[in-house]
Each structure stands twice: as C-alpha cells, then as structure tokens.
Amino acid sequence: MPHSMTSRERVNAMFERRDHDRAPRYESFWPETLERWREEGVPGKDRFEAADYVRDRLGSDMQIGGVLYWPHPFPSRAEVLDETEETETVLGQSGQILRRWKNKSGTPEHIGFECNSRDVWETKYKPALESLPVNIDVDEQRKNHARGRKANRWVFTAGVEPFEALRLLIGDEEFMINILEDPEWIADMAKVTTDNSLMNYRALVDAGLEFDGLWIYGDMAFKNMMFCSPESYRELIWPQHRRLVDFAHAHGMKFIYHSDGDLRKAMDLYVEAGFDCLQPLEAKANMNICELVPQYGDKLAFFGNVDVMEMIANDRDPIEAEVKMKVTAGKEKRGYIYHSDHSIPPQVSWETYQFVISLVEQYGRYT
C-alpha cells in the first residue's frame, strides 16, 4: 500500500482501482459561500483566490483547464433587453431570453427562446453553429494546464453536453415536447452542438495539451426521474455522449459526467457508453452510493454524494455520520472521489467546512 502519492498518481490509481493512500478530493462552491468565508477569515482578494485557498486546505487533487466550454451559436452576444435596479433581461449567446439577478446567484427566469421552431433552427442557428471558428480559450487552458502539472494535479478540461445545450437553446418545454413530436430535430441539434464541442476539444489536442480527463456537464434529470425516458435518451442523445466518450478515450482522457437528479434508470446506458465516472450523485434525488457501489462500482467511479443538506445546519454529529457513511461506502471498491452532492451553499460556515475537511481526511484514508 503506497504511503504518499502525487495527486495525479492518486486519481489515476483510483480510476484503475489500484491501491492508493486516500480517496481523491475536489469541491465546488456557490460564489456567496466564498464571500461569506472571506468574511470569516479565508484569505484572498476575491472569491477565486478564496476558492483556491479552500481547495488547497482540502487537499484537492484536480485542476480545471479553463472556463466550462459551451457550444453557443452566437458566443459574443449579450444584449440587455430590459433592466431594473436588481435584475436584467438578456438575449444571450444561445438565443435564450432570461431575467437574472445582477448581484447574486440564483436560477434565472426563462422568458423565452429565439430558437423556437425547427425552421428558425435550420435557417439561423444551425448555420451559425456550423460556421463558427474555434472559440475555446487555448491560452487560458494552456496556463491552467501548466499550473496543474506543476502541482502534480490531475488536470481536466470541461464542457457542456447536448442535453444541457438544447435546454438552453430551445427551452425545456420545447425540448421535451419535440423529443416525442419531432425527434429528428432533437437528434440533429444534439449532433450539431456536439460537432462544435468536439472541434474545440480537438483544438486543445492540436495545441499539444494532454489532459487527464474530460468532464462534461448536463442536467438530464430532476428529483424523482429523468427528463425523458431511457429509450428516448438512448435514441437521441446517447449517441452524442458516446462520441464524447470515444474522443476522450482516444486521447488518453477519462470521461466524467455531471448531472443532477435521479439517474438510476440511465446507469446501464452510461456503462454501455463507456463513462468512467459519475458526479455529483445528488442525495436528495435518490442517488446513494451505498446502493450504487455494490452494483456498479466495478464499472463506474463515483464522485460526490455527501449531502449538503446535512451541512447547512452546521451541526457536527449528523455531518460526521453523513461523511463517514458516504466516504466509507465509496471507498469499498477503490473507485471514489470526495465531493459534496452539489456545490457548497452559503448556509455552511467556514468553521463547519473545516470540520468537513477533517472528516474527509479521517475517513478517506486507505492506510
């Protein structure tokens, strides 16, 4: 059993189910959480420096290459249509019309979508996506890649998959209706947005950047079930997920998939597609690694599942019970990375999160 490893060695050993000293670690935070923690003593001139400090305290093993890549048809567009003292209504990069808070986080209100028919897609949005040049920030990715390599961290690049891209492009209602009424349109949008993403990821490879992982984000479920049937997912979106997986594996990268919600009916499809890891395993949506690891732990690594709802009361006993249970279950087949089951919300104090860090250290070790 190794007694000390670099972060990159540790994460790679986890994916290969080899012996490693402790479960790897990573975490995500609401911006307001980091601002609260700065007031409670976390150093940093802004929330980004604060996040770096907290991840260093956690012993984070991973490093993102840059901003999450999104296949927007009009990447430079942000037209303010209306504003008040607290909110602004914006026509955005994917044609979405959203009302959002100016000075705080929160789910925006969806007002409408410019791409509201197949005709608009085929005459305006599809040509826009197909004519775009490479839009990923290669220089930023290179800088963060070098930073991660210098620290011997496991470095990943990240982006959005077609399920998430389509929800922003045409809206949830239009998306769900046309999964049944016009599946060819849905399949075409999924392919074109994935083509754009893959073009940009290839630009990173062509620039000589060797990433350890491709972490793809898309919320395809809610608390009780998926947004579509497993059969519709398999027919319309899964082929594009498989393309992303195949690209990652062809270039030496592991494939991590992020989705909130209850994904249990999709698990076999994820395994069939070749996913390497699932994140964040939302506890309040019936995702529980105590049940998932025995069934899928030889095929999928699990990343997260520590319930933030147990953290927000800042009560140490239930927090310890939750961390102990989830980390211990995750470690059972040596394929687990610590993360909360969502981003850490601002109700969690810095004192409480330092306690979480101590618990992850205590229960996450194999030696």
Examine the fold and report which residue of 87, 114, 141 is the final residue of a domain before the chain moves on: 114
Residue 148 shares a structural domain with residue 110: no
d(CA 353, CA 279): 20
Within-domain flag for 71: yes
Q: Does the residue 206 lie in any domain?
A: yes
- Domain end residue (candidates: 85, 114, 143): 114
Q: Are residues 174 and 194 in the same domain?
A: yes
Q: How far apart are CA 336 and CA 327, in angstroms?
A: 8
38: which residues sit within 8 A by CB, 6+ positions away?
44, 47, 50
Number of H helices, E strands in the chain: 15, 11
Side chain identity, residue 258: H
Residue-wise burial string across 243-281, b where 16 or more C-beta atoms lie within 10 A, e elsewhere = bbbebbeeeebbbbbbbbbbbbebbebbeebebbbbbbb
Say yes or no: 227 and 353 in one domain. Answer: yes
108 and 141 in a common domain: no
| Residue 1 included in any domain | no
Residues 274 and 343 reside in one and the same domain = yes
DSSP 8-class letter at 124: I
Q: Quick check: is 123 in a domain?
A: yes
231 and 109 fall within a common domain:
no
Shared domain check, 207 and 180: yes
- Print pLDDT tens along the chain (367 aa): 445 899 999 999 999 999 999 999 999 999 999 999 999 999 999 999 999 999 999 999 999 999 999 999 999 998 999 999 999 999 999 999 999 998 888 888 989 999 999 999 999 999 999 999 999 999 999 999 999 999 999 999 999 999 999 999 999 999 999 999 999 999 999 999 999 999 999 999 999 999 999 999 999 999 999 999 999 999 999 999 999 999 999 999 999 999 999 999 999 999 999 999 999 999 999 999 999 999 999 999 999 999 999 999 999 999 999 999 999 999 999 999 999 999 999 999 999 999 999 999 999 999 8
284 part of a folded domain: yes
Question: Is 63 inside a domain boundary?
Answer: yes
Q: Which 8-state DSSP code applies to residue 125? A: I
Query: Residue 108: what pLDDT?
Result: 87
Is 106 a domain residue?
A: yes
Of 64, 88, 114, which residue constitutes the final position of a domain? 114
Locate 309 and state its tokens.
């709802």
Statement to judge: residues 254 and 356 lie in one domain: yes
Q: Residue 106: its pLDDT value, please?
A: 82
Q: Is the pTM above the cut of 0.75? A: yes
Co-location of 222 and 107 in the same domain: no
Is 248 in the same domain as 265? yes
Residues 183 and 310 in one domain: yes
In the chain, the number of structural domains is 2
- Give domain status of residue 2, yes or no: no
Domain that holds residue 95: 76-114
The answer to whether 37 and 353 have CB atoms below 8 angstroms apart is yes
Do 208 and 104 share a structural domain?
no
